[in-house]
A and B are shown apart, each in its own frame.
Chain A
Amino acid sequence: EVQLVESGGGLVKPGGSLRLSCAASGFTFSNYNMNWVRQTPGKGLEWVSSISSSSSYIYYADSVKGRFTISRDNAKLSLYLQMHSLRAEDTAVYYCARNQVEMESDYWGQGTLVTVSS
């Protein structure tokens, strides 16, 4: 059974940092591109970042470019999102998701809530 389990969310002050992790199981992690997608009540679903299976290709939304870094450790079956210079507008539930063929996501984690507030 494919499972994606996020962790690392929490309350952080504006300007602070946080590192999200996503533990994968039930599939050959190193064969799949992976995504981070976030969701806020006001803005719906927003793609944040993608990383190819071997980390050769990395993409970011303009809203997080220069502040967030996606990475993966295929040996540890883990996906990461390092977030710096956090802003109130980064407050959201963050999901890790597996790419199926193109950029659609066939499996999602349960999400981890990031709250940026003083």
Chain B
Amino acid sequence: DIQMTQSPSSVSASVGDRVTITCRASQGISNWLAWYQQKPGKAPKLLIYSASSLQSGVPSRFSGSGSGTDFTLTISSLQPEDFATYYCQQANSFPPTFGQGTRLEI
């Protein structure tokens, strides 16, 4: 199975900050990577697919980059509603695997 490792596990930031979360795959996955946002008690929400494609309806302050094994999710200017947990997921091969999550807190 492909292992997905996110860093950091948690990060503290303020409204207006720029935040970057990284995700590393244990082997190359081309650009088959998705990012999700999850708030407490809610289902995950797809933000980015194919490493850098913004899902419809997602604000443009979210962006993704990377290919191969190293990927990043960047939030350009944090808004209050962005404080949540973020997960990466490889979509290259079965079984699809998730990172352990990055908790973004104030």
A45 nearest CB neighbor, chain B only: B98
Most buried by A among B89, B94, B96, B97: B96
**Tally of chain B residues near chain A (CB < 8 A):** 22
A45 surroundings in chain B (CB, below 8 A): 44, 87, 89, 98, 101
Partner of B44, one of A50, A100, A108: A108
**Residue from B34, B95, B99, B100 within 8 A of A61 (CB atoms):** B95
Interface residue ranges of A74-116 to B (CB < 8 Å): 95, 97, 100-106, 108-111
- Asked whether A105 lies within 8 Å of B46 as measured between CB atoms, the reply is yes
A46 within 8 A of B: yes
CA of A111 to CA of B42, assembled, Å = 8
A46, A95, A103: the one contacting B91 at CB < 8 Å is A103
Contact A101 B98 (CB under 8 A): no
* Most chain B C-beta atoms within 10 Å of own C-beta, residue among A45, A95, A97: A45
Distance between Cα atoms of A109 and B42 in the complex (Å) = 9
A104 touches B101 (CB 8 A): no
Contact partners of A104 in chain B: CB under 8 A: 34, 46, 49, 89, 91
Is there a chain B Cβ closer than 8 Å to A27's Cβ?
no
Q: What CA separation (Å) do A77 and B44 show in the bound complex?
A: 22
CB nearest neighbor in B for A61: B95
Tell me the chain B residues, 71-96 only, with Cβ under 8 Å from chain A: 87, 89, 91-92, 94-96
Residues on A facing B (Cβ under 8 Å): 44-47, 50, 59, 61-62, 95, 97, 100-106, 108-111
Q: What are some 16 contacts across the A-B interface (CB < 8 A)?
A: A44-B87, A45-B87, A47-B96, A47-B97, A100-B49, A102-B32, A102-B92, A103-B32, A103-B96, A104-B34, A104-B91, A105-B46, A108-B44, A108-B45, A110-B43, A111-B43
